[in-house]
Amino acid sequence: MDSLYDLTFTHLEDTLRNEGIKAIHAQKLYRLLYKDSITLDDLTPGVRDWLSKRTTTKATVVRDIASSDGCTRKFVLCFDDGQEIETVLMGYRGRYTACISSQAGCAMGCVFCATGKMGFKRHLSAGEMVAQVRFLNTHLASEGEEPLRNVVMMGMGEPLHNYKELMTALEIISDPRGICIAPSRISISTVGHIPGIKKLAEAGTAYELSVSLHGASDVERDALIPVNKRWPIADLLETCRIYSEKTKRKVLIAWTLIEGANDSDDHAIRLAQLLKGRQVHVNLIPLNPTEGFDGQPPSEERVLAFQRIIKETAEVPVTIRQRRGIDVGAGCGQLAG
């Protein structure tokens, strides 16, 4: 039996009909599940009885770790089968963002990523992704804070490797009758999973897409991202072009800066040449430390020089990602369950 958190609104309506209950009750059930705006007493006895026989995905807190930056908390959550994953809550002025995991472990094997070094454990269900968001909203409410404004699928795992469950989860998370986070405030991060990007383009979703590039040649990218051998740069950028053409949306190009590996003026020039004329926005990420990888982030001066070259040569927007939760292993590439 599916968890209630696995059910889109339409699926919930169909389930109710099939079990002899009027689909109109789906509205109140969604409010009960995701908005806390009604109680069980607001349901009819028949719906309460039906609900008592259903389950929701449980995400039990194993560890709650606050960063010294005062804005970031990492939660280690455990599901019913004992599988642990990590999810991150980030506070900004007037808003909160959740970094959500889509898998336990990851099959992509990026050499500087702690999750990649774990190997692949299993996919998360749609309900397990939704449960992370529900948990964080409940936590925020308990502290008198506003609910999440943004969701980034940048936690553990390659989201597009788990495409079907991801799309179900995001439909639930963005549904205005429930959690109600606008699709434009949801970002999907991929290592360059071309089949998944093509599916997103065909689906015409309004979610933001972030593609991790990190190398300006196949030789360089192969060394950092093994799946580049399967989905090389030329094919990836052509797929991104088609995605932008179909969706009318820019693609965020993520570039983790590693001292001596991909942070030189030459790297910046070659990256700019690849991206000039494309519908992209570049986001630079100074490397975060992970166990087993000896690389270091470049100096602030080098990061700014790299940014300047991209702006001047490619004539595309370039931003530098804020470093959050590095001291507690909550930064980009640091999650390890």
Q: What is the pLDDT of residues 291-335, one digit of tens each?
A: 989 999 999 999 999 999 999 999 999 999 999 999 999 999 999
* Whether residues 13 and 86 fall in one domain: no
CA neighbor of 215 nearest in space, from 200, 234, 196 = 234
Q: What is the CATH number of the domain that holds 37?
A: 1.10.150
* Whether residues 153 and 267 fall in one domain: yes
Handedness of CA 153, 143, 4, 2 (dihedral sign): positive
Q: Indicate the average pLDDT of the chain.
A: 96
Query: Is 332 an active-site residue?
Result: yes
Q: Which of 99, 106, 110, 332 is catalytic?
A: 332
* Whether residues 21 and 146 fall in one domain: no
Q: What is the CATH number of the domain that holds 222?
A: 3.20.20.70
- Say which residues have a Cβ less than 8 Å from residue 4's Cβ, sequence separation at least 6: 12, 29, 33, 54, 55, 56, 127
DSSP string, 162-221: GHHHHHHHHHHHH-TTTT---GGGEEEEES--HHHHHHHHHHT---EEEEE---SSHHHH
* Whether residues 292 and 161 fall in one domain: yes
* Whether residues 103 and 158 fall in one domain: yes
Residue that the structure tokens 């909160």 belong to: 96
With respect to residue 274, please indicate whether it lies within any of the assigned structural domains: yes
User: E-assigned strands of the chain?
Assistant: 60-66, 72-78, 84-92, 95-99, 103-105, 120-123, 150-153, 186-190, 208-212, 251-257, 280-286, 318-320
With respect to residue 27, please indicate whether it lies within any of the assigned structural domains: yes
With respect to residue 334, please indicate whether it lies within any of the assigned structural domains: no
Residue 279 confidence class, pLDDT cut points 50, 70, 90 = very high
Percent of the chain with pLDDT over 90: 95
With respect to residue 222, please indicate whether it lies within any of the assigned structural domains: yes
With respect to residue 333, please indicate whether it lies within any of the assigned structural domains: no
* Whether residues 169 and 132 fall in one domain: yes
3-state helix, strand, coil in the chain (%, to 5): 40, 20, 40
With respect to residue 190, please indicate whether it lies within any of the assigned structural domains: yes
Q: What is the pLDDT of residue 35?
A: 87
* Whether residues 80 and 25 fall in one domain: no
Domain that holds residue 36: 4-52
* Whether residues 93 and 26 fall in one domain: no
Q: Which residues of 112-147 are buried (b: 16+ CB within 10 A; e: fewer)?
A: bbbbbbbebbebbbbbbbbbbbbbbbebbeeeeeeb
Statement: residue 76 has pLDDT above 80: yes
With respect to residue 336, please indicate whether it lies within any of the assigned structural domains: no
Query: Is 86 an active-site residue?
Result: yes
Q: Which of 13, 86, 158, 171 is catalytic?
A: 86
Residue that the structure tokens 């998944």 belong to: 196
* Whether residues 33 and 129 fall in one domain: no
* Whether residues 186 and 131 fall in one domain: yes
State pTM to two decimals.
0.96
* Whether residues 22 and 38 fall in one domain: yes
With respect to residue 197, please indicate whether it lies within any of the assigned structural domains: yes
Do 336 and 65 touch, CB atoms closer than 8 A? no
Give the count of domains, the chain.
2
* Whether residues 85 and 198 fall in one domain: yes
Q: What is the pLDDT of residue 176?
A: 96
